[in-house]
Amino acid sequence: MKQLMPFLRLFRRQWLMMCIGLLLTVLTLAAGIGLLSLSGWFLSAAAVAGLAGVGMNYFTPAGGVRGLSIARTAGRYGERLMTHEATFRILTDLRQWAWKSLLPLSEANLAGMRSADLLNRLVADIDTLDHLYLRLLTPLTAFAVMLVALFGFIGWFDWQLAALLCGGLLFAWLLLPWVFYRLGKAPGTAVLEGRRQYRIALLAWLAGQAELALFGAATQQRQQLDAVERQWLASQRAMAWVTGLSQAALILFHGMILLLMLWFAADGVGSDAPPGPMMALPVFCALAIFEMMMPLAGAFQHLSACLLAAERVTELTSQQADITFPATSDAHVTQGAISLQQISFGYQLASAQQPVLQQLNLAIAAGSKVALLGKTGCGKSTLLALITRQWQPQQGQILLDGVAVEQFDEASLRAAITVVSQRVALLAGTLRDNMQLATPEKVDDTRLAEVLTQVGLAHLLQGQGLKTWIGEGGRQLSGGEQRRIGVARALLRDAPILLLDEPTEGLDRRTEQEILKLLLNHAQGKTMLMISHRLTGMAQMDCIHLLDGGQIKASGTHTELLASEPAYSALYNKLQ
């Protein structure tokens, strides 16, 4: 149960809403039990009075019945409203807490974790934790409060009947949840794990449609997806069986309590002997307690799923960030000079480390335009990731304007660097929303439209203009349009360092030249480092470095490398 403690502490933020929801739950149960108990006594008393031919005051109990029925209806509405509002607020707090714990984590912390699994933890696992308040804490606490209230209410008339009723309920409260937890532990865990596996398999199948069709593996992959789905459905059926069994056990247990109350109340209630109309009150009260017993069936069934979900979320949120930043710093990048000194870095693969960069030295003067070329996997993108501190080098030091990158606070470092990466992050929103992500300062619509026109996206402004919805992940846009939005974002920023990771990949040659011209103009007075497989724009670079084997093998201008490096010259002639 210790896995739940961090989440229970978060619940304190909504303590008032939770307490109001609990209070309304208790009042609703009390009104329901009181309504049926009073109705039972009223009907019995009216029947006895009618048979005896005597009058009775039926206005007061009739008014009580109406008042309790109204109170129960209003209480049920308020209880549902408040408990669900509290649940939604708790889930909001949980998600914010999870995201705040996730944001400082670097690529190293999340290495080996699939995006579908990460998504499942942030969405499905946190959703599972709503059972803690809605199906566990509130019902069990309300049950305990009502147990005390029932003992006082029935004990006012007959303490022996009160002991019988409340003793049976206490036994049920202690035994049944434990039994249902044991029965629901395995299927509850299986349901949660099956949902995770299915989400991973489904997203992999959807994302890999092109490759699966190309290699003729679509049918096989779909069969694997179907097999995962069948396992998930089997675990759901097992959980449904446990749910049905628990409901049957509760009905049986409730029936036994009702029969016992009827048996002992038949001898009279308190001083009411022989039995009279008062006999109906504790019997109907026992009949009404079924409503407060029902949550016992589901309260602990989902506890195992909650524990597993809490463990999986905690595994993510409890990590210490591999890369940390000082809280504040006086260091700021003004010129944009970059120096990499004896940099060595490798990715941890299983039990071995795969070296990528080895004792690499690179100096980029402030305001210069530098290109880094090399074959796929030689470490070009890794080098940019080290500069932006997505990864930390195992050896060596990176300096910006002569200051180690570790000395910059995160806000200062991010403000000093503009990155155009191969993967453009687009959110489900409007064109304006996605463009505004480029800078914390609000940019007017005229400037946004101007930049989009510069990168060749004027056609997106037709119709709804900047209000155009681009869909989740930019699904309404082509790959080339998504890349141009990444370039347009870069043009909105005025950082001294510009890092370009294959900025024109996927664009035709003419568009590539236009985009590079825009970027080169934007980079006037800035330090620009571009990595590429293609040689477009190399003539405008102040220096070109050839990366191979984790080290710089050759450096020079475009003209110098054409004359001195056969591989560069051959590649240039091939791409002409």
Question: How far apart are alpha carbons 117 and 194 in whole angstroms?
Answer: 12
CA dist 166 and 148 (Å) reads 8
- DSSP secondary-structure letter at 534? S
Task: Write out 437-480 in H/E/C secondary structure.
Answer: CCCCCCCCHHHHHHHHHHCCCHHHHCCCHHHCECCHHHCCCCHH
Domains and CATH numbers, the chain: 2-317 (1.20.1560.10), 338-575 (3.40.50.300)
Structure token digits, residue 202: 């489904």
- In degrees and rounded to multiples of 5, residue 403 shows phi and psi of -115, 135
- Name 77's bridge partners: none
One-letter amino acid at 554 equals A
CA distance 247 to 262: 22
pTM: 0.71
172 close to 249: Cβ distance less than 8 angstroms: no
The structure tokens listed for 130 are 């709503």
Q: What is the pLDDT of residue 352?
A: 60
- Can you tell me the distance from the alpha carbon of 319 to that of 42, in angstroms, rounded to the nearest whole number? 63
Per-residue pLDDT of the chain (576 residues; tens, 9 = 90+): 677 777 778 788 888 888 898 899 999 988 888 888 888 777 777 777 777 767 677 778 888 888 888 988 998 899 889 888 888 888 888 888 888 888 888 777 777 677 777 877 888 788 888 777 877 888 888 888 988 988 888 888 888 888 888 888 888 888 887 888 788 888 888 888 888 888 888 888 887 887 888 888 888 888 999 999 999 999 999 888 888 888 888 888 888 888 988 888 877 776 665 666 777 888 888 888 888 888 776 667 667 778 778 888 888 888 888 888 888 888 888 898 999 999 998 887 655 667 888 888 999 999 999 999 888 778 888 899 899 988 888 899 999 999 999 999 988 999 899 998 878 888 888 888 888 888 878 888 889 899 898 888 888 888 888 888 887 777 778 878 888 888 889 899 889 999 998 887 777 778 788 888 888 888 898 999 998 877 888 888 999 998 888 888 888 998 888 888 887 887 777 665
Q: Which residues, 6 or more positions from 23, have their beta carbon under 8 angstroms from its beta carbon?
A: none
Euclidean distance between CA atoms 414 and 170, whole angstroms: 60
The gap between the terminal CA atoms of the chain, to the nearest Å, is 67
Q: What is the DSSP string of 321-345?
A: PSS---S--S---SS--EEEEEEEE
The H or E element that residue 359 is part of is strand 352-364
Q: 3-class SS at 57?
A: coil
Phi, psi of 366 (to 5 degrees): -60, 135
From residue 273, give the alpha-carbon distance in Å to each of 15, 188, 270, 280. Answer: 48, 51, 8, 13
Note the pLDDT of residue 364: 92
**Nearest CA to 131 among 311, 2, 315, 7?**
7
AA identity, residue 156: W
